[in-house]
Amino acid sequence: MNMPSTLHSTERSPVATTPEAVIEVRGVHKVYAGNITALQNIDLDFNRGEMTSLLGPSGCGKTTLLKIIAGLLKPTKGDVAVNGRPVAGPGPERAFVFQDFALMPWASVLRNAAFGLELQGVGKSEREDRARHYVNEVGLSGFEDKYPHELSGGMRQRVGLARALAVDADVLLMDEPFSAVDEQTRRKFQEDLIRLREIEKKTFILVTHSIEEAVYLSDRIVLLSPRPGRLNKIVTPEIDRSGDPDLIRRNPEYLDLIDDIWSGLRAYVE
């Protein structure tokens, strides 16, 4: 299902020279109890080093798809392969960032950020060193000994991001990471994420319902249509993100693409 017409869907972004699929999704169906088809026949590749957004109205199965990729849900039919190997469950090459942060309220920021490593059995001093590095990288240095309830929503999600980065996975799976965060914080967080991508060189898959967010952040946007969730089209924004992050929001290409996507999605909402 291509969209032939828009001028935005041109050739590859400069990040990956030869696109190599880290994650391959093949013929995935998901049927929930009561015969609700959440996903129908999804075929999709995610390339190394790219940021891909799964975008669509509620009920299009975007979170279901992400959880299938994470190995938290089993597809009814079809399969997912990571680095060429089929997925049977969660794996060390994938890390998840949760919509509601999923932080342990009884643990400090540092322990929360180190928790993925703690589960892997990494020794205390080593995991705390690594966690401290990423807590610093997401801009939370000085907050290591605070508890989640002492932080704002945006800061809590930064802890969730640090935890996912600390396990050094190839792929970061983010389930509407900014939806529980206020607008100003969200913008700052998005800008920081662009900067973080340049340092971390990871593959990101982002589930979002915000068109602006998808266009602002991603190299590739996968549009899903609802009930049952199907692949609608794939858009490849050609936006230069190297300069001032604020300029992106005034870039005519950015604005046009938002309009474009909205006119495509409008039909499902009305």
Partner 1 sequence: MANTQTDPGVIPGPTSRAFDMLGGTPLIWRMASLALFFAIWEIAGRTNFNWAFPTFLETMAALWEMLANGSMFSAYGRTLEPLVIGLVISLGIGVSAGVLMGLRRDVEWITLPVFITMQAAPMAALIPLITFVYGIGLTSKVLAVCMLAMPVIAINSYKAVRNVPPSLVDMSQSFMGSRRQQVFKIILPAASPMMFAGIRLGVAEGFSGVVLAELLITPTGIGDLITFNRSVAKFAHMYAAIFSIVAFAVIAVSLLHRVETSLFRPEKRGA
90 binds partner 1 (CB under 8 A): yes
Q: Which residue's CB is nearer to partner 1, number 98 or number 268?
A: 98
71 binds partner 1 (CB under 8 A): yes
Which of these ranges, 6-14, 96-104, 182-190, 211-219, lies near partner 1 under the rule CB under 8 A? 96-104
Judged by CB under 8 A, the residue of 19, 59, 78, 91 near partner 1 is 91
Judged by CB under 8 A, the residue of 15, 16, 81, 102 near partner 1 is 102
Rounded to the nearest 5°, which phi and psi values hold at 207? -95, 130
Is it true that the peptide bond before 252 is cis, omega within 30 degrees of 0?
A: no
96 binds partner 1 (CB under 8 A): yes
185 binds partner 1 (CB under 8 A): no
Query: Applying CB under 8 A, what is the total number of residues that bind partner 1?
Result: 31
Which of these ranges, 47-55, 65-73, 188-196, 212-220, lies near partner 1 under the rule CB under 8 A? 65-73
Q: Which residue's CB is nearer to partner 1, number 102 or number 194?
A: 102
One-letter amino acid of 56: G
Question: Do the Cβ atoms of 56 and 232 come closer than 8 Å?
Answer: yes
Q: How far is the CB of 225 from partner 1 (least distance, A)?
A: 26
Judged by CB under 8 A, the residue of 10, 120, 136, 141 near partner 1 is 120
Q: Which structure tokens are listed for 14?
A: 């400069």
Q: How far is the CB of 98 from partner 1 (least distance, A)?
A: 5
The residues in 242-261 that bind partner 1, with binding defined as CB under 8 A, are: none
98 binds partner 1 (CB under 8 A): yes
147 binds partner 1 (CB under 8 A): yes
1 binds partner 1 (CB under 8 A): no
204 binds partner 1 (CB under 8 A): no
116 binds partner 1 (CB under 8 A): yes
Judged by CB under 8 A, the residue of 16, 72, 194, 234 near partner 1 is 72
142 binds partner 1 (CB under 8 A): no
Rounded to the nearest 5°, which phi and psi values hold at 21? -80, 125
Instruction: Give Cα separations from 206 to 109, 127, 130, 252 (angstroms).
Output: 23, 26, 24, 23
**Interface with partner 1 (CB under 8 A):** 70-72, 89-92, 94-96, 98-106, 108, 115-116, 118-120, 147-149, 156, 163, 167
